[in-house]
Amino acid sequence: MIRILLILIAVLFLLPVSDVLADRCSDEILLDGSENLINYGMDTTQHWWALTSPFTNGYRLVVDGKKSAIYLEIGNLVFSSDGSKWACFARDNKQWYLMTNDTVLPLPGTDPGEIVFSPNSEVLCFSYKSAEQEFILFQHRRIQVYQRTGKLFLSTGGERIAFMGYRGDRLIVNINGNMESPLFDDIKPIGFWNDGSFIYAGKSGNIWEIYKNNVPISESYADIPESAINIDGTAAGFIVKTTAGKFYGVIISDEYYEPLTSKAYDFANNLALHPKSPIIVFSATFNSSPIIVMGSTEFSCGQENSRPFFNCDGSDFYFLGCDIDCFVNISGRKYSTNTQLALDATYAMKPNNLTLAYSTSSSMVVRSLSENKLYAGRMVEEMISPRYNWRISSYEALGKISNRLYLMRCQF
């Protein structure tokens, strides 16, 4: 352990920046190690969670320091989009429960299903199975379903629900348990539009189209490999492939009379959608050269590059690229890092600020692009990817030493 820490310290100090500082960084111990630490993580807002094991085959959920009872099994934790609510399933000797931030309710069935919150965080929906039959509890209703597959989707205010189901060897979209789409050979559900209609891609034969409820709203494509919809249901983005083998970026929005389509590319992937506006950015290849595309603007991205990202408020998009050395491109402005960076890592960026946070195997590091400095805090055994918490203007990440859990913060 000492040898590993010494190597990591050496690596940090060999980086070609003026110095490595800790004056902006601090840490807080969240769990003291009295229980075995099984798993841990953060949501995208300001919460943290951990799964511990006080004894063999006994598990406890800890959310923001609040401890649950001990269960034999605890399912995946689901947070609402604004972080105000959370829920998961848990089981003791005889009973499954729905555990939320303020209640624990016995599950009426024999097996848990899925949990989903509405995009506005107001409505919780969940499913369960009783014997071989599945039920969905939604807005004080119980919907009985059969041959359901894939995820559940709620409209913005939780008024409507959509899901896929098999009819023989074909698929349909069902809305509110009573309205079904035509039969398709395949379906890629996307999400609810702001008017309550459901957006999805449907395939018939070899042709894909984008649908709003049962009405096609796009051209025909050979494939629609990637899609995204914003939380308000006001914009959706797609990467599509034509029958001629070309790739395009497509945006639908109430601002446009018809879908807005980019120029053609030899290949495209890594779609990112602006959180509020009808803007997409994606990776592409044209004449064997890799580029990043936003709208009609193309950006050089080096011989290798990361996927593009929008920061939390959409004020900037950014990506990393490498030739001999690496650089960060922020909304078209290029900043050299004079060193190599992991292009497959997750990076966090504060809006309107020339800093970039990422996790190494042992620490959270914040790189100041304007000062040419690195900031890093406590070294640990392992780390998760950072987030930017705009509520307190801090980069944050979780790390562990043995069974102790730490929250690292760097204030910017």
Whether 121 is covered by a domain: the verdict is: no
Least confident of 5-14, 146-155, 216-225: 5-14
381 and 320 housed in the same domain: no
Q: Is residue 175 classed exposed, middle or buried when 0-12, 13-18 and 19+ CB atoms within 10 A define those classes?
A: buried
330 and 237 housed in the same domain: yes
Q: Domain boundary residue among 344, 378, 395?
A: 344
Whether 335 is covered by a domain: the verdict is: yes
* Confidence at residue 325, expressed as pLDDT on a 0 to 100 scale: 85
Checking phi first, is residue 177 left (phi over 0); if not, alpha (psi -120 to 50) or beta? Answer: left
Q: How do residues 277-330 score in pLDDT, each as one tens digit?
A: 999 999 999 999 999 999 889 999 988 999 999 999 999 999 999 988 899 999
Neighbouring C-alpha atoms within 13 Å toward the C-beta of 51: 16
Q: Which of 361, 359, 330 is nearest to 347 (CA)?
A: 359
Whether 201 is covered by a domain: the verdict is: no
Report the CATH number at residue 295: 2.120.10.30
Question: What total number of domains does the chain contain?
Answer: 2
Whether 44 is covered by a domain: the verdict is: no
The more confidently predicted of residues 1 and 30 is 30
pLDDT tops 70 at residue 9: no
241 and 306 housed in the same domain: yes
Report in angstroms the alpha-carbon separations of 202 from 13, 154, 170, 182.
Answer: 53, 19, 11, 9
Q: Domain boundary residue among 293, 324, 344?
A: 344
Domain containing residue 289: 223-344
* Confidence at residue 335, expressed as pLDDT on a 0 to 100 scale: 94
pLDDT tops 50 at residue 8: no
As given in the structure block, the two tokens for residue 208 are 């894909």
357 and 387 housed in the same domain: yes
Quick one: pLDDT band at residue 83, thresholds 50, 70, 90? Answer: very high
Indicate if the alpha-carbon torsion angle 270, 236, 389, 121 is positive or negative: negative
Q: How do residues 174-204 score in pLDDT, each as one tens digit?
A: 999 988 999 999 999 999 999 999 999 999 9
269 and 378 housed in the same domain: no
249 and 273 housed in the same domain: yes
331 and 376 housed in the same domain: no
Whether 410 is covered by a domain: the verdict is: yes
The more confidently predicted of residues 369 and 1 is 369
Whether 162 is covered by a domain: the verdict is: no
383 and 406 housed in the same domain: yes
Count other Cβ atoms within 10 Å, centred on residue 233.
21
Neighbouring C-alpha atoms within 13 Å toward the C-beta of 105: 14
Average pLDDT over residues 104-120: 96
DSSP states of 55-73 as a string? ETTEEEEEETTEEEEEESE
pLDDT tops 70 at residue 6: no
258 and 369 housed in the same domain: no
Rounded Cα distance, 293 and 167, in Å: 40
* Confidence at residue 20, expressed as pLDDT on a 0 to 100 scale: 65
The more confidently predicted of residues 12 and 260 is 260
Rounded Cα distance, 32 and 37, in Å: 10
Whether 396 is covered by a domain: the verdict is: yes
Q: Domain boundary residue among 292, 327, 344?
A: 344
Rounded Cα distance, 341 and 328, in Å: 10
* Confidence at residue 178, expressed as pLDDT on a 0 to 100 scale: 87
268 and 375 housed in the same domain: no
* Confidence at residue 107, expressed as pLDDT on a 0 to 100 scale: 95
* Confidence at residue 28, expressed as pLDDT on a 0 to 100 scale: 97
234 and 330 housed in the same domain: yes
Average pLDDT over residues 20-39: 92
338 and 396 housed in the same domain: no
Whether 256 is covered by a domain: the verdict is: yes
